[in-house]
Every structure is written in structure tokens, then in C-alpha cells.
Amino acid sequence: MPVRDADPGDLADIAAMVQEHAAHEGAAGHCHFDERSGGAALFGASPTLRALVAFPEGRPEVRAGCTLWFPTFSSWAATRGAWVEDLYVRPQYRRGGLGREMLSTLRAATPGRIEWDVHVTNEAARQFYVRLGADPVLGWTKFRWLP
């Protein structure tokens, strides 16, 4: 299987992919995820983040994509779910099924809803998620309160 849970040996590649993702979204200067902060969040004493890593078929040494996510809970549905913070596949490995495989792996790990944001300008990602059968959430406005 080309997708598995991340381990500490994946940290350098995960940090690089998060930085690549931020650059792709035009937000490189706003991304502070690195091996230290990511390592603490993923593998520290109180992990708050989880990750999947994806590999091209037959090449387990090449980390081609990653999904960072954390557990959620819906009080209305009374079940756990997941929030996808980042899903990134390196450009040379896109359109090979790795994004779909990471989301399918995550879907199998939770009985509840899986949610994420897509930047309004990222039309390729929006089309990809619609092809998977996901729907945009209409009627809700995201708010953010920063420190």
C-alpha cells in the first residue's frame, strides 16, 4: 500500500512538503512548520497532530505526499471525525491516485465526517474534491481569532 501512518523518520520530508504546500498557496512567508515544531506536534509527549505519508507504487523510499490531520468530534452526530489541515502531493506525483488514497485511508480510520478547507483560488483542488464526491459547505462562514 502506498500510504501509511507517518513515523519520526518521515519528519524532514513532511516539513519540506508543508513548506512546499505553503509556497504553492502563495503563503510561504506565513508557514512556520519545521522539523522541530512538527516533531513536537506529531511525535512529542502530547501529540496534537497526525500524519499520513504517500509513496509512489513500488518506491517506498520516496515520500511523494502527506496529509496532516487531527481528530474532531461532532456533538450533533455524536461521533468522532477528522479535520484535514493539509493534503499535499508533490507536483511530479499528482494525478497518480495518491491524494485519493490518503483520503481513503483517513476515511477508513474514522466513522464520522472528514472536513477541510480549500483556498478559493485553488480550482484544481476544488475540482479534485468534487470528483471524489465531496461537497463545499454552503451557508457557513469560517471565523478565525488569532492571538
Structural domains present in the chain: 3-132 (3.40.630.30)
The pLDDT score that the predictor gives to residue 51 is: 98
Task: Render pLDDT for 11-61 as a digit per residue (tens, 0 to 9).
Answer: 999 999 999 999 999 998 999 999 999 999 999 999 999 999 999 988 988
pLDDT at 84 over 70: yes
Measured CA to CA, the distance from residue 140 to residue 128 in angstroms comes to 21
Confidence class for position 2, pLDDT limits 50, 70, 90: very high
Question: By percentage, how much of the chain surpasses pLDDT 70?
Answer: 99
pLDDT of residue 58: 87
E strands in the chain = 3-5, 50-54, 65-74, 79-89, 114-116
pLDDT of 1:
60
Whether 77 has a pLDDT exceeding 90, the answer reads yes
- Of 108, 99, 4, nearest in space to 51 by CA: 4
Q: Is the alpha carbon torsion for 85, 97, 119, 108 positive or negative?
A: negative
Among residues 59, 50, 84, the alpha carbon closest in space to that of 1 is found at 59
